[in-house]
Amino acid sequence: MTKFSLLLALFVVLSACQKETVTPDDGTLPGRFRLEADPLRCSLPTTQRLTVQSTGASTYRFEYDRFGLGSYQRTGIIAIKSSATKYELTLDGVSIGQYAFEELRTLSGTQKRWVLMVSHEAGKADGLEFMGVKE
């Protein structure tokens, strides 16, 4: 009986330690995003929150503040679907990031999520460096 109890306890422990995954939504870009830093691939962010609004069929406006230093926006961002789980983001013909369903490493563990990554003129006063997930 002790072997059975030990195996049952081991099974319960192992099943409780599995990674939590999030089911992918339809991958729509418009919405509000919050900062989620992946320490392995994220540089210094310039904002904590970013709002994405649709302005056309595949064009968007990004609105953000630079940690309370003022409100900024980028308009004319184009999202091009490159696969079932990835969009390439461009502004004036220049790649500025991506929106993709991928593995995100955080202090609370690893999850599969839709992740928005944007880097555009981060060194300028109104630049944007952001990596986050939809709220």
Report how far residue 134's alpha carbon sits from residue 106's, in angstroms, rounded to the nearest whole number: 15
Which pair of structure tokens corresponds to residue 107? 């202090």
Each residue's pLDDT, cut to its tens digit, for the chain (135 residues) gives: 565 454 434 443 333 333 444 444 567 899 999 998 776 666 688 899 999 999 999 999 999 998 888 899 999 999 999 999 999 999 999 999 999 999 888 777 888 999 999 999 988 888 999 999 998
pLDDT value at position 111?
86
Which pair of structure tokens corresponds to residue 40? 């392995």
Q: How many domains does the chain have?
A: 1
Report how far residue 8's alpha carbon sits from residue 92's, in angstroms, rounded to the nearest whole number: 59
Give the residue numbers spanning the domain of 76. Answer: 2-134
Q: Give the CA diameter of the chain.
A: 70
Model confidence, pTM: 0.77
pLDDT value at position 20?
40
Which pair of structure tokens corresponds to residue 106? 């955080």
pLDDT digits (tens, 9 = 90+) for 40-67: 666 688 899 999 999 999 999 999 998 8
pLDDT value at position 39?
65
Tracing tokens 């006063």 back to the chain, one arrives at: 125
pLDDT value at position 44?
81
